[in-house]
Amino acid sequence: MKVARLHGVGDVRIHDEDKPPAAGGSSLVRVTAVGLCGSDLHWFTEGAIGDAQLGGRPLVLGHEFAGVVEGGPLDGRRVAVDPAIPDFECEQCLEGNHNLCLRLKFAGHGSVDGGLREYVAWPDRRLHPIPDSISDAGGAVLEPLGVALHAFDLGHVRVASSIAVVGCGPIGLLMVQVARASGARQVLAVDPLPHRRAAAQSLGADAALTPGEAAEAARTSQVEVAFEVAGVDDAVDTALRLARPGARVVLAGIPDDDSTTFSASLARRKGLTVVLVRRMKEMYPRAISLAERGLVDLDAVVSATYPITEAGPALTAAAARTGLKVIVSPAQARS
């Protein structure tokens, strides 16, 4: 099978390897679509994500993926793959916080290879059957939708709230849709890139502003919950300014230099609650339900598809941020 491995910063090589064996309780999955995430881009452009460094063994990236099961009790089923494998035994897991498991294994991170290959073997309990109404690419986008849902939960959003989404990459665009589906009375989107602002407005934002326009708007109108989904200090500052006194600000972006800085006086004087996002909890059933009922359009955030043999160019294209979600598919030609 074809496998794309990251050997170093910007160095992706295609290998021919044997299919992995599916041990007891696991299934062999033929991968049909892999979404490239901002965290994959950290690995690709920096060789690290936060304090985790690329080790001596070349890593297979990709934690947003879907496929078709070959063999076993789920044979022939189209599935979305939950990339997180918690131990289900620790205190965090027993409290329902699987995303905080200290022994969690995660696809495309550390020593665990991800989805940028033609086949993976994965635990059955982390495979979620998807209906025919969800495309292969959409099956991969369910993972970032799950992150958006988890962040939304952390925002403690009430019905008919006013919401700001600062950063309109794929997760931000999914957040806009989740906010609209929740019955938000106002959804304000902020992004410096025109094509992302246009996408946000087409997906339900009431207004899509540049950061400068947002700073001006914050002088007269502020929101009850602000979500930062960009990973840069300027976006955090914009979210803080857009938040009204007593609001919650949810930080979902991952910064390049593993640090986030903001004005303490601004946050303190407003009495803001600042919350950070760690991946997601058990969100796949909810994410699948939203997509199946047409409340979230997964395919709308996909802008390009590459074959597995062009995984390197796909990562380069994603890092350029000229589009939206980039998908790698072993079964498709570039589109």
Q: Which positions ≥6 away from 216 have C-beta within 8 Å? A: none
At 75, is the secondary structure helix, strand, or coil? coil
- Read off the pLDDT band of 146 (50, 70, 90): very high
Q: What is the mean pLDDT of the chain?
A: 95
- Could you give the percent of the chain with pLDDT greater than 90? 92
Arithmetic mean of pLDDT, 219-229: 96
At 9, is the secondary structure helix, strand, or coil? coil
> pLDDT tens across 283-323, in order?
999 999 999 999 999 999 999 999 999 999 999 999 999 99
Arithmetic mean of pLDDT, 263-268: 96
The reply to whether 147-276 shares the fold of 2-135+298-328 is no
Domain coordinates of the chain in residue numbers? 2-135+298-328, 147-276
> pLDDT tens across 172-184, in order?
999 999 999 999 9
Whether residue 332 is predicted with pLDDT greater than 70 in this model: the reply is no
Cα 115 versus chain centre, distance = 14
Q: Would you state the structure tokens that stand for residue 48, as one six-digit string? A: 């690290």
Arithmetic mean of pLDDT, 277-288: 96
Whether residue 335 is predicted with pLDDT greater than 60 in this model: the reply is no
Arithmetic mean of pLDDT, 120-143: 98
Which is more confident, 330 or 155?
155
- Read off the pLDDT band of 334 (50, 70, 90): very low
Whose tokens are 């955090």? That residue is 236
Whether residue 103 is predicted with pLDDT greater than 90 in this model: the reply is yes
Annotation: CATH topology of 147-276: Rossmann fold (3.40.50)
**In contact, 115 and 81? CB cutoff 8 Å:** yes
E strand intervals along the chain: 2-8, 11-16, 26-35, 48-49, 52-53, 64-70, 78-81, 84-85, 105-106, 119-123, 127-129, 162-166, 186-190, 207-209, 223-228, 243-251, 273-276, 302-306, 325-328
Q: Is the dihedral of CA 34, 109, 96, 271 positive or negative?
A: negative
Pairing of β 302-306 and β 325-328: parallel
For domain 2-135+298-328, give its CATH number from 3.90.550.10, 3.30.470.20, 3.90.180.10, 3.40.50.620.
Answer: 3.90.180.10
Which is more confident, 330 or 164?
164
- Could you give the percent of the chain with pLDDT greater than 70? 99
